[in-house]
A = this chain, B = another copy of it.
Amino acid sequence: MKLLQKINSPEDLRNCPESELPQLAAELREFIIDVVSVKEGHLGASLGVVELTLALHYVFNTPEDRLIWDVGHQAYGHKILTGRKQRFHTNRQKDGLSGFPSRSESPYDAFGTGHSSTSISALLGMAIAARLKGHSDRQHIAVIGDASIASGMAFEALNHAGVSDTDILVILNDNAIGIDPSVGALKKYLTNVKTGTAKEENLFECLNFKYDGPLDGHDLPLLIQKLSELKKIKGPKLLHLITTKGKGLKKAEEEQVTYHAPGRFDKMSGDLLQREKDPALGPKFQDVFGLTLRDLAAKNEKIVGITPAMPTGSSLKYFMEAFPDRAFDVGIAEQHAVTLAAGLAAEGMVPYLAIYSTFLQRGYDQLIHDVALQNLPVIFCLDRAGLVGRDGATHHGVFDIAYLSCIPNMTLMSPMDARTLRNMLYTVQNRREGPVAIRYPRGYSQDPEWEQPFQEIEWGRARELKKGTKIAVLSTGTPGTTIASVIPKTTEPEAISHYDFPFIKPLDQKMLETIIAGHSQILTVEDGVLRGGFGSLIAGLIGKMDKQVKLYRVGIPDEFISHGTTEELNNDIGADPGSLLRLLNELLSENQSF
Interface set of A (CB-CB < 8 Å, partner B): 103, 110-112, 114-115, 118, 121-126, 128-130, 132-133, 150-163, 183-186, 188-189, 198-203, 205-209, 301, 304, 325-326, 328, 330-331, 333-336, 338-349, 351, 358-359, 361-362, 364-366, 368-370, 372-374, 393-394, 399, 402-403, 405-409, 529-533, 535-537, 539-540, 542-544, 548, 551, 558-560
Contacts and interface: CB of A to CB of B under 8 A. Distances in A.
B152 A347 contact: no
B336 A157 contact: yes
Nearest to A120: B336
Contacts of A335: 121, 152-153, 156, 335, 362
Contacts of A125: 339-347, 349, 351
B542 A536 contact: no
A118 B370 contact: yes
Contact of A126 (B121, B124, B344, B548): B344
Nearest to A103: B374
A341 B124 CA distance: 9
Contacts of A344: 125-126, 128-129
Nearest to A203: B206
Given A122-B340, A159-B150, A373 B560 contact: yes
B132 A304 contact: yes
Given A152-B155, A156-B330, A540-B540, 9 more contacts: A115-B365, A121-B342, A153-B339, A157-B336, A158-B185, A160-B340, A201-B201, A201-B205, A203-B206
A208 to B, nearest CB: 4
A185 B199 contact: no
Contacts of A345: 125
Nearest to A366: B118
A560 B344 CA distance: 22
Q: Which of A184, A207, A342, A345 has the most chain B CB atoms inside 10 A of its CB?
A: A184
Nearest to A123: B343
Contacts of A200: 199-201
Contact of A403 (B128, B325, B364): B364
A402 B532 CA distance: 7
A316 to B, nearest CB: 16
A118 B369 contact: yes
A369 to B, nearest CB: 5
Contacts of A209: 185
Q: Which of A111, A160, A202, A343 has the most chain B CB atoms inside 10 A of its CB?
A: A343
A207 B206 CA distance: 12
B121 A340 contact: yes
Nearest to A66: B347
Chain A at the B interface: mostly helix, strand, loop or mixed? helix
A205 B199 CA distance: 10
Contacts of A123: 343
16 contacts: A103-B346, A125-B339, A125-B344, A125-B345, A126-B347, A129-B349, A132-B304, A132-B349, A150-B159, A156-B335, A157-B340, A160-B328, A358-B368, A368-B399, A531-B537, A540-B540
Contacts of A551: 543-544
A335 to B, nearest CB: 4
Q: Which of A132, A200, A348, A409 has the most chain B CB atoms inside 10 A of its CB?
A: A132
A540 B536 contact: yes
Contact of A151 (B152, B341, B408): B152
Contacts of A537: 531, 536
Contact of A207 (B186, B342, B349): B186
A543 B542 CA distance: 8
Given A188-B163, A200-B199, A340-B122, A369 B361 contact: yes
A114 B366 CA distance: 11
A438 to B, nearest CB: 19
Nearest to A162: B185
Given A159-B185, A188-B163, A531-B537, A153 B206 contact: no
A125 B339 CA distance: 8
